[in-house]
A and B are shown apart, each in its own frame.
Chain A
């Protein structure tokens, strides 16, 4: 097992290198200039812009810049942001916690909804519950997160005035109030992401359970007198979850993508909103680092999915 993980990690290196080359080239070829605002400001002499460009090495050929970036990266130096002039890793560390909290909670919410609803719907196919669940699931994943986000803001913040729609990473309160404030501001973004994710998962869970529930071993389990609850939880769900796990792992990048928009709407200071503001400011080192972090996450979640397979289905062995 450790050998397997090691091998997978080693295989990941060339793919990450490939990703970094593509990202770097695309960014270098993309138009724009981090000092664009200086260009339109008559008070700033052009020499300043030239000096800054030279200082940040923007005038060198792409190859030279890439080699410089990758060798710095290999030594753990992520470079520094052109616009805030601080190290990129500091910038990302400040932000990554919030993103993981929001995405993690929304993912838990999605699973909490999807698994019970999907399983119940599958055990009673074409019942009223199944049909309602199906309809809602369709509605849920047809609505993009930016739309539901705005809708939630309109309903809960503006009409009802229950929840704040500006997220604050550091709440100035202590004790229970701190938790309460955190929950209040996090409800909407987590619900937006979690419901979207949950809606699409419901349908997968349902069909996976339906596939399994008709198999002979389930009939056997029932025949030997096990309770329905045990049959479903221990025998059906565990086997049905394998394709669902793959799906969740493979959807993680999409969730991060959805989170970018949600973060922007709710002003969540996560890496998604950092990415957007860096793209707008043409802050290449930050864009590079954030997209690279995303790439690493994708590779990592694939690995996690593979490992979870083994745990869920001991027939799968790692070699």
Chain B
């Protein structure tokens, strides 16, 4: 998809020939995030979709207790120290950012009075600053007023290297200044197309200056507020037991009228996903359960309990297969998969193309993931024919055989193809996780029919995903030919997501395998596009660049990535509960608006 095609589509939206939502869906199919898609529309002057929420209650409170289940309980309640989404979700009950992302990728103001835009003059034309106007009259739970000082302080707190916050990636390269009590300016040192990162969404939760000011830097761990959050959110803190439970009550001074609906909130942690699903779907003991990583067949059976339903929210997680571009079996200067080597067989484009044809995504979707993994051959040239293409192109053993024959890979006596004495034998690794092992088996079977032998290897997840430099089985080391895992695109902007294919990110011994590019793909065009995209202020041009980058990594010529399925987020909720869940933000991002239909 070229830039002008994108523009044509945007024009269609402008003229009302294409709905905003279907435009966003097409961009998702291209591997772009919904926030980027809606940013393009905004930039081109398409009127912002009026994000109206269907919130029926007409007064605050009166809804009784809201009981929700996180099978991994939050262990701390400071969003800037959150080690996982569970902690961010827990913190988000109390803290709010300036704005959050809805499921269509629109920015929805929380503590901001309005969303910055070119029209209201708060986005600088040079892309180097953005002005946020803050909502007035907001109070912290302890009664102190919320002002610009808190926003500036949140930046200082998080950007301080001594504090070692997990959100420092968002804040370390920006500067924040106070204009007046209710206006702040975020300054970037270079033109930044994606300005809605600091103070927005998961990493943007604002913390109160008056309670954290004495606990900046090395002393941050001692802040009592880490465990007793004082935020601006719809629910006020009552009690917290790490990993077990959070109790909260309605905030009578919440800054949005008629919210929240529930009088108390209880988040219970622990246990496992299946029994969490039971507690919502079968017994109705709980109203909502997070992250249903359960086989769809089981979920469907539990749903017949009739108390609740499974809600699938599109997000950006992609289960994908990586092909190694370097040789994992030769050691050079003390490291395998060294950049100085080339993979003996996978370096042949015909082999890679054949493998791409041998992944039966449809079976993977139908027999393994169900609703929780949607087959994707995404990154197509033409979204107009997206639906029909997906099924056609996917899986073709005959064509794979033909390709390999043509490229000179002859079957040997054992049925395995070889050329110049090199056999098509691969080690295919992934983490231990029932669906992944089934997925491996499906691919192996197809490969066998094409004369490719695969040795399946599965590594315990805690090893595979660790950054343990001494362990040879981690995914950044990639001491195998093929590997598979899910990469998370929770970040609304693909900038950081896409740097995992830049040549300078290649995981090597030199950077202690901290590089984010395990397949070690090195492509000049990709690198150049990525560099250009970082300074490109026109979101449409930038989107076109990202689309092209996607094409390179999954493409027939240089591609080393085989996308398998999208992993939308699945959660269980009671039939009567109305919860607004977005795939681009925390599950609890709109908890103030949750209510029960009576």
Contact = CB atoms under 8 A, between A and B. Distances in A.
Contact of B271 (A36, A168, A265): A265
A94 B463 CA distance: 30
Contacts of A49: 467
Contact of A36 (B81, B241, B462, B497): B462
Given A35-B467, A80-B221, A41 B490 contact: yes
A172 to B, nearest CB: 8
20 contacts: A33-B467, A37-B465, A38-B83, A41-B488, A42-B488, A46-B467, A81-B75, A84-B76, A85-B78, A94-B242, A94-B244, A164-B283, A165-B278, A166-B279, A170-B245, A269-B243, A273-B243, A277-B73, A277-B243, A280-B462
A72 B5 CA distance: 65
A301 B84 CA distance: 39
A31 B462 contact: yes
A43 B279 contact: no
B83 A166 contact: no
B408 interface: no
B418 interface: no
Interface of B: 69, 72-73, 75-76, 78, 81, 83-84, 161, 164-170, 172, 203, 221, 226-227, 239, 241-245, 247, 264, 268-272, 275, 278-279, 282-283, 285-286, 305, 460, 462-463, 465-468, 471, 487-491, 496-497, 499-500, 514, 516
A168 B241 CA distance: 11
A43 B170 contact: yes
A84 B514 CA distance: 25
Contacts of B516: 42
A33 B221 CA distance: 20
B76 A33 contact: no
- The 9 lowest CB-CB distance pairs between A and B, nearest first, are A269-B244, A84-B242, A32-B462, A84-B75, A46-B514, A267-B271, A33-B466, A31-B463, A45-B169
Residue of A36, A37, A153, A169 ringed by the most chain B CB atoms within 10 A? A36
A264 interface: yes
Contacts of A41: 166, 488, 490
Interface string A67-95: 00000000000001101111000010011
A282 B467 CA distance: 13
A51 B488 contact: no
Contacts of B271: 166, 264-265, 267
A155 interface: no
Interface string A205-248: 00000000000000000000000000000000000000000000
Nearest to B221: A85
Interface string A32-59: 1111111111111111111110010000
A166 B467 contact: no
B226 A36 contact: no
Contact of A277 (B165, B270, B278, B462): B270
Contacts of A83: 75-76, 83, 242
Task: Sort chain A's interface into a size bin.
Answer: 35 or more
A157 B282 CA distance: 9
B168 A45 contact: yes
Contacts of B227: 84, 86
Residue of A46, A47, A83, A265 ringed by the most chain B CB atoms within 10 A? A83
Interface string A93-124: 01100000000000000000000000000000
Contact of A86 (B84, B161, B242, B305): B242
Residue of A43, A86, A94 ringed by the most chain B CB atoms within 10 A? A43
Interface in A153-210: 153, 157-158, 161, 164-166, 168-170, 172
A274 interface: yes
B164 A55 contact: yes
Nearest to A33: B466
Given A48-B166, A157-B283, A166-B268, A42 B466 contact: no
B285 A165 contact: yes
A52 B279 contact: no
A308 interface: no
A161 B242 contact: no
B468 A31 contact: yes
Interface string A245-267: 00000000000000000001101
B467 A39 contact: yes
A40 B466 CA distance: 8
Contacts of A95: 244
Nearest to B471: A31
Given A42-B497, A43-B167, A265-B271, 20 more contacts: A32-B462, A32-B463, A35-B83, A37-B465, A39-B465, A39-B467, A41-B166, A42-B488, A42-B499, A45-B168, A81-B242, A84-B75, A84-B243, A91-B242, A94-B244, A165-B283, A169-B245, A172-B264, A269-B270, A277-B270
Contacts of A19: none
B166 A38 contact: yes
A269 B168 contact: no
B482 to A, nearest CB: 19
B467 A36 contact: yes
Contacts of B239: 170
